[in-house]
Amino acid sequence: MIEPKPIPRPPAGARNFVVVILDSLRWDSWKASPPSSVTAALGDAERRFSYATWTAPSHLNLLMGLLPHTSPAHVYASEYYKRDFLRYSERLGVADMEFKRLLPSIFLPTYLRHALGYRTHARVSMPVLNKFTVINRDFESYELMPSHNDMAAMVEEVHFDPERPSFWLLNVGETHYPYARPGEDTSDLPHISGVHGVFKKLDQIRAEGGEAGEFFDQARLRELHERQIAVLEYLDGVLERLLSKLPQDTWLVVTSDHGELFGEEGYFGHGPVAHEKVLEVPFVEGLVR
């Protein structure tokens, strides 16, 4: 039996690092109701772009260390990646980072745990991110929450080790369809299968001829966009509770994995959609003092 390698002692000054992903939240929803708790702590968010249009590949990029990008013109992609990775020295408070140790995994939890001695934790809302997927690698704890829309329950589980810095990834589902607060009745909204639900029902769908339904009309699409904005207003209080639990000198990132379409050019949702609005996301980061 191969003994696991001991986790190294963290370098002096290494910071706690927390990444909050507000699933499916598009940029203009944030602009309509920016959480005051985050704005007060970190400043205004900027408009950035996701590397992918749906949850699983976007989170893989995020966990590779590739945060939403600025889409710079006249710049080689390799130069942009280099600059963004170098920012991790500031984010983590580690001046002499050996970036070659990010290889060959190119996976942030692996690097943080085995090169820098971090505790690594994740709480996720979307079943497509469940702990049996490849995204659950080198996390000490990784859990799919019982409810898809209960960030407050995640915040209750967030904790920090006084002896080691921690990395926390929180995938928040309130901003995903049906854009609802915990316990809110959404029975008047059509059921739309998530990826996990689709896979569970594929054999039935194949046998019975598929799931069909009418596309949302414009009034319902406007209502759904308003629901996403309203649930972000609710999350302001939950984010404030998270901020109150973060130790001083924690680096916090708040962003989204991708945007959402609410009827623009006939599109709804995200995934197999090629449209700017499904890539536009808010992005804000900085030290919590």
Please give the pLDDT value at position 195.
47
| Average pLDDT value for residue range 220-238 | 96
CA atoms within 13 A on the CB side of 173: 21
Cα separation, 23 vs 128, whole angstroms: 12
**Is the predicted pLDDT of residue 217 greater than 80, yes or no?**
yes
CA separation, residue 145 to residues 29, 35, 49, 148, 179 (Å): 24, 23, 27, 7, 17
| Average pLDDT value for residue range 224-249 | 97
The second-level CATH assignment, the architecture, of 17-288 is: 3-Layer(aba) Sandwich (3.40)
Q: Where are the domains of the chain?
A: 17-288
Least confident piece of the model among 47-51, 133-137, 143-147, 188-192: 188-192
Please give the pLDDT value at position 180.
95
Residues in contact with 270: Cβ distance below 8 Å, sequence separation at least 6, in sequence order: 24, 53, 54, 258, 259, 260, 261, 278
CA separation, residue 203 to residues 121, 129, 199, 272 (Å): 34, 22, 8, 22
Largest CA distance in the chain: 62
**Is the predicted pLDDT of residue 245 greater than 60, yes or no?**
yes
Cα separation, 145 vs 131, whole angstroms: 11
Torsion sign (Cα): 183, 200, 212, 57: positive
- For 6-44, write each residue's pLDDT tens digit: 889 999 999 999 999 999 999 999 999 999 999 999 999
* Residue listed under structure tokens 């995200």: 270
The confidence band for 76, taking pLDDT boundaries of 50, 70 and 90, is very high
* Residue listed under structure tokens 């623009």: 264
User: Closest Cα partner for 44 from 229, 235, 283?
Assistant: 283
- For 91-120, write each residue's pLDDT tens digit: 999 998 888 888 889 999 999 999 999 999
Cα separation, 23 vs 124, whole angstroms: 10
Question: Strand locations in 193-279, DSSP E?
Answer: 250-255, 261-262, 268-269
**Higher confidence at residue 198 or residue 138?**
138
- For residue 20, the surrounding DSSP H or E stretch is strand 17-22
- The sheet carrying 46-49 orders its strands as 46-49, 280-288, 250-255, 17-22, 166-172, 119-124, 141-144
**Is the predicted pLDDT of residue 237 greater than 50, yes or no?**
yes
Residues 282, 46: contact at Cβ < 8 Å?
A: yes
Cα separation, 171 vs 88, whole angstroms: 21
Please give the pLDDT value at position 212.
47
**139 token code pair:** 């996390």
Q: Is there a cis peptide before residue 35, judged by omega within 30 degrees of 0?
A: no
Any idea what DSSP says for residue 102? G
